[in-house]
Amino acid sequence: MARGNAKEKGARSSGEVVVVSAGRPLLRFDSQRWLGADRARRRKALARVPRHLRRRRQASTITLRVDRRALSRRVTDAARGGGGRVPLPVRAVAASTRLPIVRQRLRNNCETAALEMLLAGRGRRISQSRLQGELARSEPVDPVGGGTSAMVWGDPDRGFVGRPDGGGPAGGYGVYERPMAALARRHGARPTRSRGARPAAIYAELLAGRPVMTWIGLSDGPYVRWRTREGRPVTGNFGEHTVVLTGLRGNRLAVNDPLDGRRKTWTKRKFELMWRRLGRRALSLH
């Protein structure tokens, strides 16, 4: 009943249903024979379709699961209509992207080390040292004022706060997704940033073959409150850190951690706990 490796031209006029994958013919069915077949024969014909497919996109490998039940319904509908093209119904179930692993050179420059990895995945090799030098900064470098309630410091939504190499009365803090997106655009990337995102949105990015830079809290505090020079209140978690998620399979996430320059595997639960501590911030490149 099924035929492969046949020419696609004239599928509808000949009463054939052509199953296509990535724009290429995969199988062909005669409409009348398909409609006259029982369920067992249809299942046998569709058994020629693999349950999983792998597709490569730049440095990413995406695993797709074929929905054979949906395919059977599509072929039936097309056969009743006299034939035609039927796209293979698939959904991404796993993905991995091979990025270079980068270890941060300074105590507090995890963000630019993470961005170096993201940019490398897009074919742009820009060192973390250069990125740190180009990154906007938010003054004052060191907090001023007496006590935490009256303390004035920088705004991580506008630029890097504190000292990248530590030192000073408060050391350093870091920077959030908005200035990092501006820095990525400076190097020709098209960033998408989010705050308060749902985990499903992050996992969808990964399954599309796009690594995601995420802000996490390695610890639940200590939390410190201050105000910017403009008077905006800021609550900072001094466990602030960034990592790059590079893949997803089941309940496991592949992670590039610039803190020690190692590839790691985390559960979704572990990641989501730490991610909530920093407001569920993320950055990906399109």
Q: CA 63 to CA 241: how far, in whole Å?
A: 30
Q: Which of 199, 153, 160 is nearest to 180 (CA)?
A: 160
Q: How far is CA 131 from CA 39, 111, 126, in A?
A: 60, 9, 7
Q: Which has the minimum average pLDDT: 30-39, 70-79, 114-123, 147-156?
A: 147-156
Which one has a higher pLDDT value, 215 or 22?
A: 215
Delimit the domains of the chain by residue range: 2-50+68-87, 110-285
Mean pLDDT, the chain, integer: 93
Q: Residue 13's pLDDT band (boundaries 50, 70, 90)?
A: very low
The top-level CATH class assigned to 110-285 is alpha beta
Q: CA 55 to CA 195: how far, in whole Å?
A: 30
- Say what the pLDDT of residue 8 is: 41
* Per-residue model confidence as pLDDT tens digits over 148-185: 568 999 999 999 999 999 987 778 999 999 999 999 99
- Say what the pLDDT of residue 145 is: 86
Provide the token pair at 162: 């504190």
Query: Model's pTM, two decimal places?
Result: 0.89
pLDDT at 190 over 50: yes
Q: Which of 92, 84, 19, 89 is nearest to 55 (CA)?
A: 92
- Say what the pLDDT of residue 10 is: 46
Helix ranges restricted to H, the chain: 31-36, 39-46, 68-80, 110-121, 128-134, 147-150, 177-186, 199-207, 268-276
- Say what the pLDDT of residue 160 is: 98
Contact 283, 216 (CB under 8 A): no
Virtual CA dihedral for 115, 235, 228, 158, nearest 10 degrees?
20
Q: Residue 58's pLDDT band (boundaries 50, 70, 90)?
A: confident
- Exposed/middle/buried for residue 10 (C-beta within 10 Å: 0-12, 13-18, 19+): exposed
